Amino acid sequence: MILAALAAAAMFAGLVHAVLVVAHVSEPATTTVYGLTPRRLWATAVVALGLAGVVIGSLALVRAAGRLGTSGRLGAIVALVAGLIAVVNGGLNLAIANGGPGTGNGVVGGAAAFVLGIIAVALGGLALTRRRRTALEPGQMT
């Protein structure tokens, strides 16, 4: 279990680094900005939204019925929307950044939000597809 968690963390870090390289903001700043800047706050909020989308999408994928009696379809839709918002805002944060990590632009958070958003969209879409497929009766076609 620990090895799987370490492998997942390493894969996540690799994906975040790949997004930073593709966005041409992987070089660290010569002078580091400390503290919370507006762009770092924006990136942090979007990372939290992307992480919530991943958690909700995972729960919608593995649970047939939620605690409130929902069918899982609502959770899948929420994961899709949260993931889409995280992808768009993370990409926008990276697009307007004019420096790498340490500049106060929130590029690491933007890249993490982008990756988490893609994962949330994938989980939500998979859960929604699985729900739709199980809702159909065996002889029914649409």
Q: What is the mean pLDDT of residues 8-35?
A: 83
Q: Per residue in 58-93, pLDDT tens?
A: 998 887 555 545 557 888 999 999 999 999 999 999
- pLDDT value for 51: 95
The percentage of the chain sitting over the pLDDT mark of 70, rounded to a whole number, equals 86
**pTM, rounded to two decimals:** 0.80
Given a contact cutoff of 8 angstroms between Cβ atoms, the answer to whether 72 and 127 are in contact is: yes
The rounded radius of gyration (Å) of the Cα atoms in the chain is 18
Q: What is the mean pLDDT of residues 112-138?
A: 82
Tokens representing 91 are 């990409």
